[in-house]
Amino acid sequence: MEHSIIMLCIWFFFFSIMSESSTSLDTLAASQSLHDGETLVSAGGIIEVGFFSPENTTRRYLGIWYSNVSPVTVVWVANRNKPLANTKGVLKLNEDGTLELLNDGNNTIWSSNISSKAVSNPIAHLLDSGNFVVRNGHETKDDDALWQSFDYPGDTLMAGMKIGWNLETGLETHLSSWTSVDDPAVGEYSEKIDLRGYPQSIKFKGLDIKSRAGSWNGLSLVEHPITSSQIMLEKFVINEKEVYYQYDLVDPTMFIVYKLTPSGPGQLLYWTTQRRTLQIVLIGDEDPCANYAFCGANSICSSNGSPATCECLGGYVPKSPDQWNMAVWFEGCVQRNKSNCENSYTDGFLRYTQLKLPDTSSSWFSITMNLNECRKSCLKNCSCTAYANLDIRDGGTGCLLWFNTLTDMRKFLQSTQDLYIRVPASKLDLVGHGNFKKKTVKIVVGVIIFGLVTCGCLLILKYPGTTRKLYNKRYKIRQRKEDADLPTFDLSVLANATENFSTKNKLGEGGFGPVYKGKLTDGQELAVKRLSKKSGQGLEEFKNEVSLIAKLQHRNLVKLLGCCIEGEEKMLIYEYMHNQSLDYFVFDETKRKLLDWSKRFEIIRGIGRGLLYLHQDSRLRIVHRDLKTSNILLDANLNPKISDFGLARSFFGDQVEANTNRVAGTYGYMSPEYAARGQFSVKSDIFSYGVIILEIVSGKKNREFSNPKHYNNLLGHAWTLWTKNGALELLDEVLREQFISSEVMRCIQVGLLCVQQRPEDRPDMSIVVLMLNGDKLLPNNPKVPGFYTEIDVKSEGNSSSTNHKLGSVNELSITMLDAR
């Protein structure tokens, strides 16, 4: 017995020593520690918490991930904005219930926030759900938690996690993307529950709305019109204490998480306990109709697998008819005839179905009203523009009212809740909907309409230009037969807008001619590009720019509003860019300080998206041929827009390249094959884009760059630094205080990949955009850039040791060159 007692005491002694530095399987008790290299594993072996490093970095983070799932799926990060520099981090649970992450200097990198609840023998428990919970030792319910990771989501929504608001404590839970695939720091995208009006789910890019999953209809969010699910049980709770969205899983062997990617789209990922290979079952909808308010106010977007189109609601007309006909929709629609508020009860409603309900931020709702009461309530308010049931279950219950404009609607293939749009009685009589359906009126109106249509058709057949002329006369816009889809402004209107082309309104001058700022009588600002009589560009370049850009619509392309052709005058009218061109900023000693790294990175990516559209996503495959910083315009928010399509060429079918005897472009941006042989393709544009990237990063011009240590241009200098592991030395000195090194390195590497000597070595723009967004791993080191002159370079594909020098642009023999 005495021997047994002695052995028991020894066992307890050793256990007490071990317990100070080790942990149990799924819990961490007070005064225990979790070191780098150790993990807690949930009871079911589902999930782990420990230290990790993202790909392509040695930075260490405390995170949560699913066990034995390939690839590794990190769902939560504690110190996402404050990484550890080495593997000496330690996680501790203090006696007061606070989790504390310490570095090797015993400094606190991250700590949890606990409530004011009394603390007694706290314990941190990792649950199979993925929730890391700190509670008092005797408590077992999550509701009694002192702290839980589910209250502080990262980029991942998991089953059982709430996204929304605790109205009693003011705590908001929302998703926020990583900065990149290898940097968990808070990125620019977030998904939140917006409490304005009837609560809804919104995705933001910074402070701007990117897209909208929308409000809850009783079964799902309106962006995802499903009526039932055998896999997920969704719910949306709205009461005086909480507003939140949540889902649970039906099958306990299946796991589904939603991730907000660094570039914005959402991903729905799933796997099972039997098959632990990650499957991507849904990537966030990237068609144009998914973009918030793509068609502007009071209009409906429709794509369903085809190019997006917009249409006005019944009773509404385009706000800018000329732009609407050019497929420029963002200004939306306005009421044709506004309701007479004094006789509002004569108004009625048009019924829409298969529709995503509008933005509810300016709405009002009631859970007790029925649909008829909802309609009457709308009629009583002059500002009410639409109504619908709040809940589609049980035949429809509740009331949802909208006021003023209706925004962000799109068509669906399947039925959803009905939406009733308010219109004047006159509109209802014409279309046969609403409160008043008088048979006599309908017959008379029908006869009148038939007569008008018949006469109109006869008039159009005999005088096809009459209708268009009447319209254009009203707006002082004329049309040329060959450019019938593009508005032509009257010269007197443009002269008045520019104060007779005053020099004080002159914005600059390029190869085409001078550009003037103009302002129409309604306040709209314009940029008027006037063809100089002495310009090397002539009527063909003018017509080329008109015919190409009139067919192109993208947020990173400058918008062509019209043209003017009168006598010898030839002008193009564009949207006005408040910040002029990129070169005014990036090469100016003072203004370049206004472009911090985050803005430069966004400009680089914006130009890339515009170029991808030209090369791949537009109706025509366009090669710009004169891409340079002075042809990148910046709007009021410094968003980039590609301009100047006078030299652009379109490719058809499977055509990938072409030749010209007249090389036209700008030294410093032209690719070697174009400058030397007149051969151009999308790869020559990509070369120019690579030059722009390196100029934006460095703040230096390729053509004017000089270095006392060598005779290379900016491209050669960047490549030399890259090969010597000193690429960050290229960064503009005004940015040295604050930048993200991984983004800078990625941009430099992508820029060097784009300016490689051989066109076939340069990546396509689709790959470039993915690399810049961090969605694709970067390939091996870039090869030698074009026009590299500093050292001998081994001939690629030649096993011999013979070297040859690459000639500089000064050695090229160009007989027909229109370079600027």
Active-site positions read: 626
Closest CA to 266 of 405, 424, 133, 157: 157
User: What is the DSSP secondary-structure string of 256-298?
Assistant: EEEEE-TTS-EEEEEEESS--B-EEEEE---SGGGSTTTT-BT
Q: Do residues 416 and 355 lie in contact, with contact meaning Cβ atoms separated by under 8 Å?
A: yes
- Is 14 strand, coil or helix? helix
Residue 653, phi-psi category: left (phi > 0), alpha (psi -120 to 50), beta (remainder):
left
Q: Residue holding tokens 């007197």? A: 492
Tokens of 691: 């030059």
Q: Do residues 309 and 418 lie in contact, with contact meaning Cβ atoms separated by under 8 Å?
A: no
Angle subtended at Cα 120 by Cα 118 and Cα 125, rounded to the nearest 5 degrees? 105
Q: Is 228 exposed, middle or buried (0-12, 13-18, 19+ CB in 10 A)?
A: exposed
- Is 765 strand, coil or helix? helix
**Sign of the dihedral through C-alpha 10, 16, 21, 22:** positive
Angle subtended at Cα 468 by Cα 467 and Cα 472, rounded to the nearest 5 degrees? 125
Q: Do residues 765 and 612 lie in contact, with contact meaning Cβ atoms separated by under 8 Å?
A: yes
Rounded CA-CA distance 470/535 in Å is: 35
H or E segment and range at residue 385: strand 384-388
Angle subtended at Cα 502 by Cα 496 and Cα 507, rounded to the nearest 5 degrees? 105
Angle subtended at Cα 758 by Cα 752 and Cα 759, rounded to the nearest 5 degrees? 90
Within 531-586, residue ranges assigned H as helices are 539-549, 582-586
Give me the amino acid identity at 626: D
Write out 40-107 in H/E/C secondary structure: EECCCCCEEEEEECCCCCCCEEEEEEECCCECCCEEEECCCCCCECCCCCEEEECCCCCEEEECCCCC
Distance of CA 20 to the CA centre of its chain: 49
Q: b/e string for 116-128 if b means 16 or more Cβ within 10 A?
A: eeebeebbbbbbe
Distance of CA 731 to CAs 179, 180, 298, 698, 728, Å?
Answer: 20, 20, 46, 5, 6
Strands (E), 520-589: 525-530, 560-566, 569-575
Give me the amino acid identity at 147: W
For the stretch 658-665, contacts whose Cβ atoms lie closer than 8 Å and that sit 24 or more positions apart, written own/partner, are 658/623, 661/816, 662/816, 662/818, 663/814, 663/816, 663/817, 663/818, 663/819, 664/625, 664/626, 664/817, 664/818, 664/819, 665/625, 665/626, 665/818, 665/819, 665/820
Strands (E), 130-182: 132-136, 147-148, 156-158, 163-166, 172-173, 175-180
Angle subtended at Cα 507 by Cα 504 and Cα 509, rounded to the nearest 5 degrees? 115
Distance of CA 648 to CAs 49, 548, 627, 680, 735, Å?
Answer: 54, 8, 10, 11, 34
Tokens of 165: 């608001």
Q: How many other CB atoms are there within 10 angstroms of residue 439's CB atom?
A: 7
Rounded CA-CA distance 300/406 in Å is: 10
